[in-house]
């Protein structure tokens, strides 16, 4: 989800860090990639960057160079800074095609952890949609295929297991975006062998932490988090407020990093996938994967600050 920073201008120190990080995203990355926090996928031990990129709305653009140029720079800097996970969907308009085209142009497809979804009914329709995603992403294998919103999940899960065994996908998972579906999501997590679950989770939407996140951790299922800024609502909550000085204790220099580090500090979370079409916001988001994370007491303090009133 595209968002605006509403906490006022970044500090001079933060701006300098962004400039350094942006420079590091060039060909000579000066070890920048190794600095980004990595998290293991429980089912395999493979490590992925804890900050990824979501493509809903932001990558749904036309074919012109002018429309795609900022997104090309987002992906270039993302990989340069050690990012891997790019999450898309056939329901996101042109997003899959834009990711596939730009990654090919940049010669970074093999450096990305490509995640997308299937959202249709019936085996044949599901296979057709996933084949289309392979073509749009311009790859022979998708890293993570997710059953979106649990739609016809029993049918698609059988297909995904076949595809995984055949090497057409590497991991499989499920998603949902609304807490009203958590009874069913919990049932699937308890009863099926999954690699990933994707849910919305933020300081503005905390329902997943009551049941889904603890269960995912118990079941050794990786967690992708979408809507980390509550669709921009968190920036509205802190509009006009200065970032608290104690945020420096966990290496936080912007409100975006404040919100992302709060999520990443949850022990069940594997990767958070904020969306942006602005390179400067991408670098700011990626900096949430650097340095310290808040401890449990600090997370409570962060919660109180944002939810007060």
Over residues 170-222, the pLDDT tens digits come to 999 999 988 899 999 999 999 999 999 999 999 999 999 999 999 999 999 99
Q: Which of 268, 296, 211 is nearest to 50 (CA)?
A: 268
Whether 195 is covered by a domain: the verdict is: yes
50 pLDDT above the threshold of 70: yes
Whether 72 is covered by a domain: the verdict is: yes
117 pLDDT above the threshold of 50: yes
- Lowest-confidence range among 5-19, 224-238, 267-281? 5-19
Whether 104 is covered by a domain: the verdict is: yes
Q: What is the mean pLDDT of residues 23-45?
A: 67
C-alpha to C-alpha distance for 283 and 297, rounded to whole angstroms = 27
Whether 4 is covered by a domain: the verdict is: no
Q: What is the mean pLDDT of residues 14-38?
A: 52
Structural domain including 151 reads: 12-23+36-307
Does pTM top 0.75 for this prediction? yes
* Residue pair 58/1 in contact by the 8 Å Cβ criterion: yes
Q: How many domains would you assign to the chain?
A: 1
Q: What is the mean pLDDT of residues 51-67?
A: 96
Q: Residue 51 — very low, low, confident or very high, per pLDDT cuts 50/70/90?
A: very high
Q: What is the pLDDT of residue 179?
A: 87
Whether 31 is covered by a domain: the verdict is: no
Q: What is the pLDDT of residues 145-181, one digit of tens each?
A: 999 999 999 999 999 999 999 999 999 999 998 889 9
8 pLDDT above the threshold of 70: no
Whether 5 is covered by a domain: the verdict is: no
22 pLDDT above the threshold of 90: no
Q: What is the pLDDT of residue 309?
A: 53
Query: Which domain CATH number covers 184?
Result: 3.20.20.100
Whether 138 is covered by a domain: the verdict is: yes
Q: What is the pLDDT of residue 17?
A: 54
Whether 2 is covered by a domain: the verdict is: no
């Amino acid at each position: 989800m595209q968002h605006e920073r509403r906490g006022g201008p970044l500090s001079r120190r933060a701006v300098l860090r962004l400039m350094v990080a942006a420079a590091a995203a060039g060909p000579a990355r000066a070890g920048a990639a190794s600095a980004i926090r990595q998290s293991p996928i429980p089912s395999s031990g493979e490590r992925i960057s804890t900050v990824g990129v979501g493509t809903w709305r932001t990558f749904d653009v036309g074919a012109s160079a002018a429309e795609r140029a900022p997104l090309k720079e987002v992906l270039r800097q993302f990989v340069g800074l050690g990012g891997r996970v790019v999450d898309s969907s056939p329901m996101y308009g042109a997003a899959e095609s834009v990711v596939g085209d730009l990654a090919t142009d940049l010669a970074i497809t093999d450096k990305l952890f490509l995640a997308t979804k299937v959202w249709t009914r019936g085996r044949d329709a599901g296979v057709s949609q996933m084949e289309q995603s392979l073509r749009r992403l311009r790859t022979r294998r998708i890293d993570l295929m997710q059953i979106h919103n649990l739609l016809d999940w029993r049918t698609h899960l059988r297909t995904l297991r076949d595809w995984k065994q055949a090497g057409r996908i590497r991991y499989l998972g499920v998603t949902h975006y609304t807490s009203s579906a958590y009874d069913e999501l919990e049932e699937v997590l308890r009863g099926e062998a999954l690699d990933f679950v994707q849910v919305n989770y933020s300081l503005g939407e905390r329902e997943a932490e009551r049941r889904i996140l603890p269960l995912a951790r118990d079941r050794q299922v990786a967690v992708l988090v979408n809507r980390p800024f509550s669709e921009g609502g968190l920036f509205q909550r802190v509009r006009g407020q200065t970032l608290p000085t104690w945020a420096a204790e966990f290496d936080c220099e912007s409100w975006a990093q404040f919100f992302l580090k709060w999520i990443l500090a949850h022990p069940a979370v594997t990767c958070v996938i904020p969306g942006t079409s602005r390179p400067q916001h991408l670098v700011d988001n990626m900096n949430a994967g650097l340095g310290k994370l808040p401890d449990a007491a600090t997370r409570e303090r962060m919660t109180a600050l944002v939810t007060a009133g």
